[in-house]
Chain A
């Protein structure tokens, strides 16, 4: 059975800190790994990773995939209170099956 495990489940940091969120997976015929940010509404897309070792970056957020060790990390530098959200990791395979989501990491950034 395909599964996605995120850690930690929750995290509290101070503004300005750097955080690393983890996502490990087991999936048949891996195709892609996606990160989403969810505040009090629907998830919004952050990154999609398909190749190992290639960092994707958007402002203070960056992510990288390790297909050998079957994990990805999402880094947020110089955190701000607006980064407070649940960060979801999801994995897709090359077949017809939909994404498999992890339970998310709840990040709280306090001033």
Chain B
């Protein structure tokens, strides 16, 4: 089945120790998103790729970086995780090819990050 896959599902890291979260998709969607979601809050968009074009939200900390080596994969790198970065990280995909509807996003299961 076509889907969005995130690995790992649970990640524990130490304060300041870099961590990489991965997302892959078999939907062949050209847009991929990374969201941060803390408890009882809406998902907060960090950045997204439209094909290879990287779009950073203005309030995304520099500590967060992303890579998209190909259509199927996207990575979230947290260079120096702080306690405040503990959250669920959601990857989502969508199609944008100029033909509506294209806003629907398909989410992966998320990676829950714990920072000790």
Q: Contact residues of A with B, CB < 8 Å?
A: 31-32, 34, 36, 41-45, 48, 50, 88, 90, 92, 94, 96, 98-99, 101-104, 106
- Cα distance, A41 to B10, chains bound together (Å): 12
- Cα distance, A96 to B94, chains bound together (Å): 12
Would A32 and B100 count as touching, CB distance under 8 A? Answer: yes
Would B110 and A103 count as touching, CB distance under 8 A? Answer: no
Interface residues of B, CB < 8 Å — how many?
A: 21
Would A42 and B109 count as touching, CB distance under 8 A? Answer: yes
Contacts of B100 in A (CB 8 A): 31-32, 50, 94
- Cα distance, A90 to B103, chains bound together (Å): 10
Known contacts being A96-B50, A96-B96, A98-B48, is A45 close to B104, with CB within 8 Å? yes
B101 at the interface (CB under 8 A from A): yes
Min CB gap A8→B, angstroms: 14
Would B42 and A92 count as touching, CB distance under 8 A? Answer: no
Identify which of A42, A48, A96, A103 contacts B41 (C-beta below 8 A).
A103
- Cα distance, A34 to B94, chains bound together (Å): 13
Identify which of A44, A50, A101 contacts B43 (C-beta below 8 A).
A101
Contacts of A101 in B (CB 8 A): 42-43
Identify which of B45, B96, B101, B107 contacts A43 (C-beta below 8 A).
B107
